[in-house]
Amino acid sequence: MAGKVLVVESDVSVQRLLQHTLQQEGYEALLVADGADALRTWQQEKPILILLGTGLSGMDGHEVAARIRAAEGAAGHVPIIMLTADRDVQAKVRALRAGADDFLVKPFHPAELSARMKSLIARFAPTDISSRPPMGRVHAYYGAKGGVGTTTIAINTAIALHGLGRRVCLVDGNLQFGDHRVFLDLGLDRKSIVDVLSAPSIDVDLLRSLVVTHDSGVDLLLAPPSPESADLVSSAHLHRILETLASMYDYVIVDIDKRLEDRNLMVLDIADTIFAVMTADLSCIKNVRLVLDTIGHLGYEQSKLKLVLNRSNAFTGINVKSAEGALKRPVEFQIVNEYRGAISALNTGEPFMGQKADSVLGRSVMDFAKAVDRQVGQAIGLVASGPGR
């Protein structure tokens, strides 16, 4: 089991739904129906998170949250998600003031609940986990050609890794025409990488002030809001930024475009691993061969580059074995084809790992993220221990 979650809910049907969702994610559900039992169970069982309904008999959810916060003091902090049918803004404000960390309106999708839970559990992880040094891995996601889904994979892999309890920063390295603002439904008024230029030095405090935390819990360093600003960010700036971020996070995921210009070459150079995203078509395979040649000319070991075959089950007339034969090397990772679901997520600005993590595509990306995390853990001697491991 990934841990105990206390469910405080008087509605039996909601209790059953929450219990099923928690069991599917590997958690043990502790079910109670009133406030007094909630306080007693919290003290005895020490759950890693509380799902707290507001409409309880005797003592409502707000009072339960307030009593828990008063009792735990500075010694600890159990994350609380308040569950209510009230959509009013004042209801959310009241819940947060009572001590809740998050707020969900019924009915909600189980995938959204799961994503919010994992984000909070990772944020309030026990000291012995959260205080360990960051793994500091820089991963470059490079598309062999446009339209192969590089940005989609980078964004959703970042969310999946965060769901595994890792600290993740996603960098939009396509500085001229980055899509992260659009794909994540963020406005042009957010801070971006270009804001480093106004600072006397690039350090941890500066970057903490510039990253934007997405609803999924992933931190983002966005591309400039206008293409003309991109040229102001030099390779030296980007190098210092990535080095500093690596001292702050377990994973720094850099999504770059296919041009092999100075800044992208610097990213490839500093990256611990390059994930070349491809599809099984002739033009893409041709480009991958050129990338492999370039990697050789740059003096990198071939093991630094990993091939990720996106839409692996789509019919193109070229199967995986044929692609591997043409490239004279194996394809390390495959992600299934669910084009409609991926496009729908992009157009709504809601990544499928947040809303549809239980879909075929979501499970495929999660499997990919787990495999990547497992390899990194083995390489640095760290036993992975996040939720769902």
Is 104 in the same domain as 141?
no
Give domain status of residue 70, yes or no.
Answer: yes
**CA dist., res. 195 & res. 348, Å (int):** 28
Q: Is residue 128 part of a domain?
A: no
Q: Name the residue with tokens 């075959």.
A: 309
Phi/psi at 199 (5° precision): -100, 150
Q: Do 152 and 100 have their domain in common?
A: no
* Single residue among 67, 88, 108 that ends a domain in this structure: 108
Whole-prediction pTM = 0.66
Per-residue tokens: 291: 């990338």
> Which of the listed residues 108, 126, 160 is the one where a domain comes to its end?
108
Walk along the chain (389 residues) and give the pLDDT tens digit of each residue. Answer: 468 999 999 989 999 999 998 988 888 999 999 989 999 999 888 899 999 998 887 788 999 999 998 888 665 789 999 998 888 888 888 888 899 999 888 888 888 888 888 888 887 765 444 456 889 999 999 998 888 999 999 999 999 998 888 999 999 999 999 889 988 888 777 889 999 888 888 999 999 989 988 888 899 999 998 888 888 999 999 999 999 999 999 999 999 988 888 999 999 999 999 999 999 999 999 999 998 988 888 889 888 999 999 988 777 778 889 999 999 999 999 999 887 777 777 667 788 887 677 788 888 999 999 999 999 988 877 544 443 33
CB 106 within 8 A of CB 84: yes
Does residue 291 sit in the same domain as residue 362? Answer: yes
Instruction: Give dist(CA 178, CA 182) in Å, integer.
Output: 9
Tokens 């971020």 belong to 245
Cα separation of 118 and 83, whole Å?
A: 16
H-type alpha helices, the chain: 12-24, 35-45, 61-72, 89-98, 110-123, 127-130, 150-163, 180-183, 204-210, 235-246, 262-270, 282-297, 320-327, 339-348, 352-355, 360-380
User: What is the torsion angle, in degrees rounded to the nearest 10, for the CA atoms of residue 355, residue 143, residue 307 and residue 324?
Assistant: 120
Q: Which helix (H) or strand (E) holds 251?
A: strand 251-256
Q: Is 315 exposed, middle or buried (0-12, 13-18, 19+ CB in 10 A)?
A: exposed
Contact 52, 38 (CB under 8 A): yes
Domain span holding position 60: 4-108
Shared domain for 186 and 94, answered yes or no, is no
Are residues 294 and 218 part of one domain? yes
Tell me, yes or no, whether 386 lies in a domain: no
Tell me, yes or no, whether 124 lies in a domain.
no
153 and 243 in a single domain? The answer is yes
Length of the chain: 389
The tokens describing 261, both together, are 């210009």
Q: For residue 198, tell me if it sits in a domain.
A: yes
In this structure, are 21 and 156 located in the same domain?
A: no
- Domain match, 173 and 100 both: no
Q: Are residues 86 and 188 in the same domain?
A: no
How far is Cα 107 from Cα 83, in angstroms, rounded to an integer? 9
Longest dimension (CA), the chain: 72
Residues 22 and 141 both lie in one domain: no
Identify any residues that bridge with 30 across adjacent strands, giving them in sequence order.
Answer: 6
> Counting beta carbons within 10 angstroms of the beta carbon of residue 14, is it exposed (0 to 12), middle (13 to 18) or buried (19 or more)?
middle
Which tokens hold the place of 272? 């611990």
- Residue 18 counted as domain residue: yes
Bridge-based pairing of strands 212-213 and 219-221 is antiparallel
**In sequence order, what are the beta bridge partners of 52?**
8, 82
Nearest CA to 239 out of 227, 257, 252 is that of 252
What are the C-alpha distances in Å from 248 to residues 9, 214, 375? Answer: 38, 17, 20
Same domain, 72 and 18: yes
Instruction: Give the pLDDT of residue 347.
Output: 67
Instruction: Give the whole-angstrom CA distance, residue 353 versus residue 183.
Output: 13
CATH of the domain at 297: 3.40.50.300
Cα–Cα distance for residue pair 314/279, rounded to 1 Å: 9
Whether 387 maps to a domain, the answer reads no
126 occurs within a structural domain: no
Number of separate domains in the chain: 2
Q: Residues 6 or more apart from 262 whose CB is under 8 A from it?
A: 235
Structure tokens at 123: 């944020």
Task: Please state the φ and ψ torsions of residue 162, each to the nearest 5 degrees.
Answer: -65, -40
Same domain, residue pair 195 and 292 = yes
Which CATH number is 93's domain given?
Answer: 3.40.50.2300
